[in-house]
Amino acid sequence: MKFNLENKVALVTGGSRGIGRSICTELARAGAAVVFSYRSNASAAEQTQKDIERAGGICRAVEGDVADLGAAETLVGELIRDYGRLDILVNNAGVTRDQLLARMKPEDFDAVIQTNLRGTWNLCRAVVRPMMKARAGRIINISSVVAQMGNAGQSNYAASKGGVEALTRALSRELGSRQITVNAIAPGMIETEMTAGMTADQRALLGAQIPLGRLGTVEDVAHAVCFLASNEGSYITGQVLAVNGGLG
């Protein structure tokens, strides 16, 4: 099934590469005009924009830090000024600062919480008034299987994503009466730049833990986003959709 998002406007944070790039691409293929933010990698952002425009989609890249509430509000304000509406928000921007607890620096814990959790809250806060005024909207937050399973060396990341899932459930109750759905997607192990350097033995060991026997693709996550953003997902809210091949 191809989901129809024609005449919709989507904002994706962290859209310059990996899962974010695929989300932008699939939303554009479904017909949405896509604005995405990136933090620093201008060349990767430019490539995402070119890929989407080459495929006939509408796309704009904007540099900005989601951890900055003022920057988030400016981003949303300018988007609505230029496009007249905002239908879909995908909070994908995230960072890691992995280390065992005994060695983790407090500033590395704070940095992950500030981007992954506070950044998600910032964008939700920035979009809520225009979506409430329109009495419609889709908010989709990207979590992780680590929020459910935990992972040694990722206490900061797991805490941030667990917070994202709790935030998702709370906002779904606040905003449901305005016909705004709020859901999260929790990817498992996905083929990205981070996993490309794994050895064959590491890949085999990981695959043995996944019932489907393989790592997921960025498209697996992007298709789930399109579903939740579409009319077909209109009666789903407050949920965490696991896209993990059965891991965990």
The catalytic residue positions are 157
Is residue 20 a contact partner of residue 221, using CB atoms and an 8 Å limit? no
CA distances from 44 to 14, 38, 50, 142 (A): 11, 9, 10, 20
Amino acid at site 88 = I
d(CA 169, CA 76): 23
- The CA distance from 85 to 14, in Å, is 20
Q: Using alpha carbons only, how large is the chain's radius of gyration in Å?
A: 17
| Widest pairwise Cα distance in the chain | 53
Candidates 106, 131, 239; CA nearest to 185 is 239
Instruction: Evaluate whether 147 touches 190 at the Cβ level (below 8 Å).
Output: no
**Residues near 190 by Cβ (< 8 Å), separated by ≥ 6?**
18, 19, 215, 216, 217, 218, 220, 221
**All residues at 6 or more sequence positions from 14 whose CB lies less than 8 Å from its CB, including other chains:** 20, 36, 37, 38, 39, 66, 92, 93, 94
State whether residue 62 is helix, strand or coil. Answer: strand
